[in-house]
Amino acid sequence: MTTAPSTVTSVDPLILYGETFSSRLLLGTSRYPSPRILEDAVRKAQPAMLTASLRRQNVSTNDSPNRFWDMLRQLDVPVLPNTAGCHSVQEVITTAQMAREVFETSWIKLELIGDDYTLQPDTLNLVDAASRLIKDGFKVLPYCTEDLVLCQRLVDVGCQAIMPWAAPIGTGKGPINPYALRTLRERLSVPMIVDAGLGLPSHACQVMEWGFDGVLLNTAVALAQDPIRMAGAFASATQAGRDAYRSGTMTEQHAAQPSTPVLGTPFWHQA
């Protein structure tokens, strides 16, 4: 697989299933105002992967059939097919196998929807779907909730990375359960990419500060007033959060602490 253009230092790459990526931002490809804006946003963000649904395979325009796929190839960014819209394990398996043939990749973003209103993953059948895909040779990145037990079970069946949501898809609410997400990060050692629900660059920075390994987003960029600029903002925020995490943040204090020593100052008086 060809890796995306470098946006971060090579001493701290994102590693998934033994493969190295130079960015910690993954970007979706739907709902952009135009193909040109999508292309410019991708070039601005330089993401590690681009997610795409198999359902868009037959998308074409009158002047250029399959223009969407031609553009993705020209961008030279690895494509992460997803099983969006699947509601059963068998539907997931069939879609993933078709995607492997179409995109010529064993990478798959596993989406198994259990509720059409919230688009919450089907937590009861997700582990079974992941297990079957892994046995079939896929590199599975499962979209899941922040439930610790569910995520542990996904790791147990062979998922070398997981993608918990911050909030329901497309809401832009940011992390609605910080305690659960931070607990998840503390308990599991596999790479974790926060997928869905991020609305602001500050949301991406926040979860990266907590130690998450990357973020995946779509709507927050695609529906921004200026998607290209927003793509760059998310890329910068993602890296800033990673840098902050690796730097080691200061310990929060309960009382004010002077940043400048008062001892030896000319007018200092002890009360």
Q: Is residue 66 very low, low, confident or very high in pLDDT (cuts 50, 70, 90)?
A: low
Residue 122 included in any domain? yes
Cα 216 from chain centre: 2
Residue 79, pLDDT above cutoff 70: yes
pLDDT tens figures, 125-155? 999 999 999 999 999 999 999 999 999 999 9
Residue 255 included in any domain? no
Task: State the total domains in the chain.
Answer: 1
Around Cβ 106, how many Cβ atoms within 10 Å?
A: 17
User: Which domain range does residue 48 map to?
Assistant: 14-247
| pLDDT over 90, % of the chain | 73
H-helix or E-strand containing 113?
Answer: none
Q: Is residue 8 very low, low, confident or very high in pLDDT (cuts 50, 70, 90)?
A: very low
Q: Is residue 271 very low, low, confident or very high in pLDDT (cuts 50, 70, 90)?
A: low
- Tokens 């991406």, residue located: 204
Contacts of 195 (CB under 8 A, 6+ apart): 26, 143, 163, 164, 165, 166, 215, 216, 217
Among 90-94, 160-164, 256-260, 261-265, the least confident range:
261-265
Read off the CATH number of the domain in which 41 is found. Answer: 3.20.20.70
pLDDT tens figures, 228-241? 999 999 999 999 99
Catalytic residues, by residue number, are: 109
Residue 269, pLDDT above cutoff 70: no
Residue 59, pLDDT above cutoff 50: no
Please state, in angstroms and rounded to a whole number, the distance separating the CA atoms of residues 141 and 194. 11
Report DSSP letters for 47-103, one per residue.
-SEEEEEGGGTT---SSSTTHHHHHHHHHT--EEEE-TT--SHHHHHHHHHHHHHHH
Average pLDDT, the chain: 89
Residue 4 included in any domain? no
Residue 175 included in any domain? yes
Please state, in angstroms and rounded to a whole number, the distance separating the CA atoms of residues 81 and 51. 6
